[in-house]
């Protein structure tokens, strides 16, 4: 039994069943034992590999995207170049290298990494030494200036609430103690006006998910962009809309039981991009989502791969290109959504 599991058991024993969102939040973000707070889970030796760790092409193209958006919106100075959940800092490092030659961009940019993990902050500081980057625990801590934000595999790690339709009512999924072990169960059916409004057409027995913290982040981004200008680029796995239980755990590079060894596995859920777009507010343009493969091709990843493949690592570049773009790899599983002010040019990669 992990130390976090012991605490969760004690909490359930004293206060009753725990909603899935609370369980997920503890497993990932508990200050002492949370998965992201105690380790570096990224890279080839970790539990999973994100796109920036696969190839420099990913971060370079997203950097070029940010520079184009900045230019299209009048080259604001200063502006915040923000990454949410920046991992090891690889994406931002590659992005900054790609835009080094864009006149005025780096001088105007204030680099901010929104990160809560002390372990990952240390990795980011190493990757971005000399960049002038600073850190924040949330968007609320940032100054009110134009903002261009990048969120790659950020929203999928935010806690979700799960509900099941039962006739005209809904019941929430809970974590309980059953036979001395953690188990899933369902709460008592009750009316849920918010769920009825969003999921009126789902069949009896269907499971739906809400991500309140994700919608809150999208709303904060939307308010800043609508008021000050800028953009948000969200890259994650999921779909525009959908139903079903998408909660999953990864440990040691393989799928695991979400209830096994809390704090030692990554827990994620699919992103509902429609919910994020709606939470951002009606004053913005939501472009996409488009498949990651399509998005990267529109930004020129094939041309960049050809340049990189002239070196000694041609086969590795080709493999990375395939992994990032092919429909059977990450190309269709990951989707890309952009938020920009109404009236601003359509951002690169989202052809009208």
- Identify the three-state secondary structure at position 42: coil
Contact 98, 65 (CB under 8 A): no
Assign residue 101 a region: left if phi > 0, alpha if psi is -120 to 50, beta otherwise? alpha
d(Cα 352, Cα 350) in Å, to the nearest integer? 6
- Identify the three-state secondary structure at position 322: helix
Residue 131: pLDDT band (50, 70, 90) is: very high
Contact 186, 19 (CB under 8 A): no
Check pLDDT > 50 for residue 110: yes
d(Cα 48, Cα 168) in Å, to the nearest integer? 40
d(Cα 342, Cα 264) in Å, to the nearest integer? 43
Predicted confidence at residue 155, as pLDDT, reads 98
CA distance to 50, 183, 234, 315, per residue, from 271 (Å): 16, 24, 10, 33
- The tens digit of pLDDT for each residue in 74-106 reads 999 999 999 999 999 999 999 999 999 999 999
Predicted confidence at residue 45, as pLDDT, reads 43
Predicted confidence at residue 44, as pLDDT, reads 42
The pLDDT mean for the chain works out to 94
Tokens read off for 200: 């009126």
Predicted confidence at residue 350, as pLDDT, reads 97
Residue spans per domain, the chain: 3-291+336-341
CATH of domain 3-291+336-341: 3.40.50.12710
Check pLDDT > 60 for residue 123: yes
Q: Please count the residues of the chain.
A: 352
């Amino acid at each position: 039994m992990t130390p976090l599991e012991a605490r969760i058991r004690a909490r359930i024993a004293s206060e009753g069943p725990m909603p899935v969102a609370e369980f997920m939040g503890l497993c990932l973000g508990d200050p002492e034992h949370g998965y992201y707070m105690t380790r570096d889970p990224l890279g080839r030796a970790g539990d999973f590999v994100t796109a920036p760790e696969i190839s420099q092409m990913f971060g370079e193209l997203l950097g070029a995207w940010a520079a184009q958006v900045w230019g299209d919106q009048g080259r604001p100075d200063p502006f915040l170049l923000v990454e949410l959940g920046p991992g090891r800092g690889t994406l931002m490092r590659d992005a900054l290298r790609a835009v080094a030659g864009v006149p005025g961009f780096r001088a105007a940019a204030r680099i901010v990494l929104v990160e809560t993990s002390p372990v990952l902050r240390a990795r980011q500081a190493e990757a971005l030494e000399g960049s002038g980057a600073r850190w924040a625990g949330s968007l609320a801590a940032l100054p009110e200036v134009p903002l261009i934000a990048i969120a790659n595999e950020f929203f999928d790690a935010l806690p979700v609430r799960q509900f099941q339709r039962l006739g005209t009512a809904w019941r929430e999924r809970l974590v309980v103690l059953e036979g001395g072990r953690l188990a899933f169960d369902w709460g008592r059916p009750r009316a849920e006006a918010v769920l009825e409004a969003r999921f009126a057409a789902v069949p009896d027995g269907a499971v739906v998910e809400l991500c309140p913290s994700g919608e809150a982040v999208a709303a904060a981004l939307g308010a800043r962009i609508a008021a000050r200008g800028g953009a948000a680029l969200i890259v994650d796995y999921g779909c525009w809309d959908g139903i079903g239980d998408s909660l999953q755990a990864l440990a040691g590079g393989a799928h695991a039981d979400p209830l096994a060894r809390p704090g030692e596995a990554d827990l994620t859920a699919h992103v509902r991009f429609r919910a994020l777009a709606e939470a951002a507010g009606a004053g913005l343009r939501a472009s996409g989502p488009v498949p990651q493969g399509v998005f990267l091709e529109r930004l020129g990843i094939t041309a960049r791969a050809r340049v990189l493949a002239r070196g000694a690592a041609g086969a590795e570049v080709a493999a990375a290109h395939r992994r990032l773009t092919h429909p059977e790899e990450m190309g269709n599983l990951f989707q890309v959504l952009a938020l920009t002010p109404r009236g601003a040019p359509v951002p690169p990669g989202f052809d009208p």
